[in-house]
Structure 1
């Protein structure tokens, strides 16, 4: 699988990460399928309130509203535009998923919600401008695997 992140999304991330400082923040990612196995993150929700210095758990209510607004904007074309996964920051740590991150994502795809796969994006802002990123794929009945992050064509 390959994922790219639209430039406007990167800008949105930089702004939110700057404002959050050393607190972890996060949300959900919405994507567009460009080709089989190739997705572009075109929007994301931001929960800048519930994070702490070393922990983030998103408030599902606000993110459900963001998803509904996204589906409305994209004409409910779920085969092309859909939920892609979760994201959060590690402002003080490596962008490698923690054991808690991995456990949460496995619970998501192995749960009863019918989610076959989900991507976890972990971000860190360095020097107030440079984004450091990791992207991991979680699929039902499979081990997590690293995903290539492509330069965005948009």
Structure 2
């Protein structure tokens, strides 16, 4: 069973990622010929700290192939809005996740371009589930992408 992880955030504070988030990502590991999968991360900004509590999973209308995932479904946003509302506006969209079909993933050039172009202007967490490891990064509007050492 996976456990919650507390990680030092290189731009200040700590990042708490709940075990259920890692369990969700792990369930989409690209073994065999499985296509890439992805979704959004939900959690709370707690001062300088981040708490990641949930992750959406692929919807049937999302597009994916072995080396590509494109989140198209409005279901991700609708789920985020529902959680935001029922949490008294505490739990919000806080990042992105997807898979790569290699043991120890790093962001691709396309990942960095799309994150820079599409993410909101606040600190966002980025996770990439590989075959054995998970890449963790923070995208900040002031510093860009920073890999988070564990």
Q: Indicate the TM-score class for this superposition, using the shorter chain for normalisation.
A: 0.7 to 0.9
Could you say if the C-alpha distance between residues 48 and 24 of structure 1 is closer, same or farther in structure 2, counting changes exceeding 3 Å? farther
1:20 and 1:60 map into 2 onto residues whose CA distance is 25
For structure 2, the residue ranges without an aligned partner over 5 or more in a row are 1-8
TM-score in terms of structure 2 length: 0.76
Higher relative contact order (CA 8 A, sep 6+): 1
**How big is the shift at 1:48?**
5.5
Question: Structure 1 runs of 4+ off > 3 angstroms?
Answer: 16-21
**How big is the shift at 1:143?**
2.9
Match of 1:54 in 2: 67
**Backbone CA RMSD of aligned residues:** 2.4
TM-score in terms of structure 1 length: 0.75
Asked if 1:64 is matched to 2:96, the reply is no
Q: How many residues align?
A: 136
Q: Work out whether residues 24 and 88 of structure 1, in 8 Å CA contact, stay in contact via their aligned partners in 2.
A: yes
Q: Work out whether residues 32 and 39 of structure 1, in 8 Å CA contact, stay in contact via their aligned partners in 2.
A: yes
Match of 1:152 in 2: none
Asked if 1:76 is matched to 2:89, the reply is yes
Asked if 1:32 is matched to 2:38, the reply is no
List per-residue Cα deviations over 1:77-132 (Å, max 9, x = no partner): 3xxx22111100002364100000000111124xxxx5323221111243xxxxx1
Q: Work out whether residues 27 and 47 of structure 1, in 8 Å CA contact, stay in contact via their aligned partners in 2.
A: yes
For structure 1, the residue ranges without an aligned partner over 5 or more in a row are 127-131, 150-154
Q: Counting helix residues as a fraction of each chain, which structure ranks higher?
A: 1
**How big is the shift at 1:148?**
4.3
1:115 and 1:60 map into 2 onto residues whose CA distance is 22
